A and B are shown apart, each in its own frame.
Chain A
Amino acid sequence: MISPSQKRIFWSLVWFSVLILSLPTIIVVGASFTAGNIISFPPDGFSLKWYEKIALARDLRHAFVRSLIVSIICLAVSLPVGTLAGIALTRYRLRFASALQIYLLLPFTIPLIGSGIGMMLLFGSWGILGNLWPVGTAVAVINLPFIIWSVSSSAAVLDQDLELAAANCGAGRIETFLHVTLPGVMPGVITGGLLMFVLAMTEFLVSLLLTDARTVTLPVQIYNNVRSIITPDLAAVSSVFVVIALAAVWLLDRLVGLEIFLKSK
Chain B
Amino acid sequence: MPFEQDKEHGFRYLLRWRTMDFLEAILDRLWPRRLARFTGWLMMLPALLLVGLLVIGLFQIAESSLHTLDRSTFRPSEDFTLQNYRTILDSATYSWVLLRSVLGAALTVVFTLLLAFPFAYILVRTENAPVRKVLLVTLFLPFFIGQVVRAYGLLIILGTNGMVNQGLGLVGIEPIRLLFSFPAVVFGEVQYMLPFAVLMLAPALTAIPREIEIAASSLGANWLRSLWYITLPMAKPGFVGAGLVVGTLTLTDFAIPVMLGGGSQDFIANAIYDQFFRTADQGLGAALSLVLVAVGSAFVGIVVAVFGVGTLSMGIKK
Which of A25, A88, A105, A111 is B43 in contact with, Cβ under 8 Å? A88
Instruction: Report yes or no: A77 in contact with B50, Cβ–Cβ below 8 A.
Output: yes
Instruction: Report yes or no: B44 in contact with A245, Cβ–Cβ below 8 A.
Output: no
What residue of chain B has the Cβ atom nearest to residue A138's Cβ? B53
| A95-145, CB < 8 A from B | 97, 100-101, 103-115, 117-122, 125, 137-138, 140-142, 144-145
Is B107 positioned at the interface, with any CB of A under 8 Å from its CB? no
| B141-178, CB < 8 A from A | 141-157, 159, 161-163, 166
State the Cβ distance, A168 to closest chain B Cβ, in Å: 15
Q: In the bound complex, what is the Cα–Cα distance between A229 and B293 (angstroms)?
A: 34
> What total of chain B residues lie within 8 Å of the partner, measured CB to CB?
106
Chain B, interface SS category: helix
Is B306 positioned at the interface, with any CB of A under 8 Å from its CB? no
Which of B206, B273, B296 is A111 in contact with, Cβ under 8 Å? B296
Instruction: Report yes or no: A258 in contact with B136, Cβ–Cβ below 8 A.
Output: yes
| A10-33, CB < 8 A from B | 10-11, 13-14, 16-18, 20-25, 27-28, 31
Instruction: Report yes or no: A104 in contact with B156, Cβ–Cβ below 8 A.
Output: no
Instruction: Report yes or no: B60 in contact with A28, Cβ–Cβ below 8 A.
Output: no
Taking CB atoms, residues of chain B closer than 8 Å to A246 are 141
Query: What sequence of 0s and 1s flags, for each residue 69-82 of chain B, a beta carbon within 8 Å of any chain A beta carbon?
Result: 00000000000000
Contacts A1-B214, A5-B223, A245-B145 given; indicate if A20 touches B43 (C-beta within 8 A): no
Instruction: Report yes or no: A88 in contact with B40, Cβ–Cβ below 8 A.
Output: yes
Q: In the bound complex, what is the Cα–Cα distance between A10 and B276 (angstroms)?
A: 45
Is A48 positioned at the interface, with any CB of B under 8 Å from its CB? no
Is B297 positioned at the interface, with any CB of A under 8 Å from its CB? yes
Is A39 positioned at the interface, with any CB of B under 8 Å from its CB? yes
Which of B20, B40, B148, B191 is A172 in contact with, Cβ under 8 Å? B20
Is B284 positioned at the interface, with any CB of A under 8 Å from its CB? no
Instruction: Report yes or no: A3 in contact with B316, Cβ–Cβ below 8 A.
Output: no
Q: In the bound complex, what is the Cα–Cα distance between A253 and B123 (angstroms)?
A: 16
State the Cβ distance, B231 to closest chain A Cβ, in Å: 11
Instruction: Report yes or no: B191 in contact with A144, Cβ–Cβ below 8 A.
Output: no
State the Cβ distance, A107 to closest chain B Cβ, in Å: 6
Instruction: Report yes or no: A248 in contact with B41, Cβ–Cβ below 8 A.
Output: no
> What total of chain A residues lie within 8 Å of the partner, measured CB to CB?
110
Taking CB atoms, residues of chain B closer than 8 Å to A230 are 155-156, 159
What residue of chain A has the Cβ atom nearest to residue B187's Cβ? A20
Instruction: Report yes or no: B122 in contact with A14, Cβ–Cβ below 8 A.
Output: yes
Contacts A113-B292, A119-B54, A226-B155 given; indicate if A174 touches B135 (C-beta within 8 A): no
Q: In the bound complex, what is the Cα–Cα distance between A80 and B154 (angstroms)?
A: 38
State the Cβ distance, A5 to closest chain B Cβ, in Å: 7
Instruction: Report yes or no: B166 in contact with A41, Cβ–Cβ below 8 A.
Output: yes
Contacts A13-B119, A17-B115, A101-B315 given; indicate if A125 touches B60 (C-beta within 8 A): yes
Instruction: Report yes or no: A173 in contact with B24, Cβ–Cβ below 8 A.
Output: yes
Query: What sequence of 0s and 1s flags, for each residue 5-34 of chain B, a beta carbon within 8 Å of any chain A beta carbon?
Result: 000000000000000110110010000000
Is B204 positioned at the interface, with any CB of A under 8 Å from its CB? yes
What residue of chain A has the Cβ atom nearest to residue B314's Cβ? A265
State the Cβ distance, A237 to closest chain B Cβ, in Å: 8
Q: In the bound complex, what is the Cα–Cα distance between A77 and B152 (angstroms)?
A: 30
Taking CB atoms, residues of chain A closer than 8 Å to B286 are 117, 121
Contacts A90-B318, A261-B202 given; indicate if A115 touches B194 (C-beta within 8 A): no
Taking CB atoms, residues of chain B closer than 8 Å to A27 are 153, 156-157, 163
Instruction: Report yes or no: B156 in contact with A22, Cβ–Cβ below 8 A.
Output: no
Instruction: Report yes or no: B317 in contact with A153, Cβ–Cβ below 8 A.
Output: yes
Q: In the bound complex, what is the Cα–Cα distance between A147 and B301 (angstroms)?
A: 26
State the Cβ distance, A243 to closest chain B Cβ, in Å: 10
Contacts A21-B194, A84-B44, A202-B146 given; indicate if A264 touches B152 (C-beta within 8 A): no
Instruction: Report yes or no: A25 in contact with B57, Cβ–Cβ below 8 A.
Output: no
Is B259 positioned at the interface, with any CB of A under 8 Å from its CB? yes
Q: In the bound complex, what is the Cα–Cα distance between A66 and B93 (angstroms)?
A: 38
Instruction: Report yes or no: B317 in contact with A141, Cβ–Cβ below 8 A.
Output: no
Can you name 13 A-B residue pairings with CB atoms under 8 Å?
A: A17-B116, A21-B142, A25-B141, A25-B145, A28-B149, A40-B161, A94-B41, A97-B318, A104-B51, A109-B296, A121-B64, A153-B317, A174-B24
- The 10 tightest CB contacts between A and B, nearest first, are A118-B57, A24-B153, A202-B146, A92-B40, A111-B252, A245-B144, A85-B47, A264-B207, A172-B24, A88-B43
Task: Please report A residues at the B interface, Cβ cutoff 8 Å.
Answer: 1-3, 5-6, 9-11, 13-14, 16-18, 20-25, 27-28, 31, 39-41, 77, 80-82, 84-85, 87-94, 97, 100-101, 103-115, 117-122, 125, 137-138, 140-142, 144-145, 148-149, 152-153, 156, 172-175, 198, 201-205, 209, 219-220, 222-223, 226, 230, 234-235, 238, 241-242, 244-246, 248-249, 252-253, 258-259, 261-265
